[in-house]
Chain A
Amino acid sequence: MCVYDANAHMTITLLLFASYADALGASALTVELPRDSTVGDVLTAIRSRRGADRLPPSPLVAVNQRYAALSRVVQEGDEVAIIPPVAGG
């Protein structure tokens, strides 16, 4: 029997910038995911949104303001961001 357990889920805030924010029409998205999900799972969760087809297959990502791998496990409250190709200077 499958019982929904709220504790088994978490809420992640995904930050979007520049061209990616334009593509998704938002600068932040809230995503509900099972615990122990990865950054890659966060991206998969938003793939169905309008405009998400304009994101590359494996964009640069950051967790808590540091570059991270898509395999990185995220935790409730983590700040996850997708980083478009940087163009400072």
Chain B
Amino acid sequence: MTPLASLVREPIDSLAVIRAVSTPANGAVLLFLGAVRQVNDGRDVTGIDYAAYEAMAQRELEAIVDEAVAAFGTADVAVVHRLGALAVEEVSVAIAVGHPHRDTAYALSRWVIEALKRRVPIWKREHYTDGTREWVDPTGHVGAGAPT
């Protein structure tokens, strides 16, 4: 299979992502789904807007997949990230990997999500039950947009 990296605005078709990495050689196929959770840092979330620097995000996703393919010895890596307005429980990211053996598949899946969170220029603005909304800063620094 050709490695897959894409940004989408519609709901992610998880089964299609799995199919992209399923081959006769792969004894292990893993699917990781990231979903919008209802409570974050103690605040009640009603939904999240995902935004991206789309051209660069696409390029970084492809680079991550290429690096994963080179490092883990399988071409069967697929990652799809959704952008736009998502409700609680909706899937924001799907990562599927296939490998002959599970140990490598688990390591590879973890490697891809960690690289994505570290590098891909995607941002999320949480909406809260009190009507406020805020860009999430995972570094925890008080930055632009944070209340002072």
Interfacial residues, chain A to chain B (CB-CB below 8 A): 15, 17-20, 22-23, 51, 54-56, 62, 65-67, 81, 83-89
Contact = CB atoms under 8 A, between A and B. Distances in A.
Contacts of A20: 144-145
A89 B92 contact: yes
B121 A17 contact: yes
Q: What's the dominant secondary structure at chain B's contact region? A: mixed
B53 A81 contact: yes
Interface stretch (B19-27, B67-75, B100-108, B131-139): B131-139
A89 B146 CA distance: 20
Interface string B10-34: 0000000000000000000000001
A89 B116 contact: yes
B127 interface: no
B51 A18 contact: yes
B53 to A, nearest CB: 5
Interface in B59-104: 59, 81, 92-93
Nearest to A67: B119
15 contacts: A15-B53, A18-B123, A20-B144, A22-B144, A65-B59, A84-B123, A86-B122, A87-B122, A87-B124, A87-B136, A88-B52, A88-B92, A89-B34, A89-B81, A89-B122
A89 B141 contact: no
Contacts of A67: 119
Contacts of B120: 86, 88
Given A15-B53, A18-B145, A84 B135 contact: yes
A55 B123 CA distance: 16
Q: Lowest 6 A-B CB distances belong to which pairs? A: A19-B145, A88-B122, A18-B123, A54-B144, A23-B144, A65-B56
Given A23-B144, A86-B118, A86-B120, A65 B135 contact: no
Contacts of A56: 141, 143-144
Contacts of B121: 17, 62, 81, 83, 86, 88
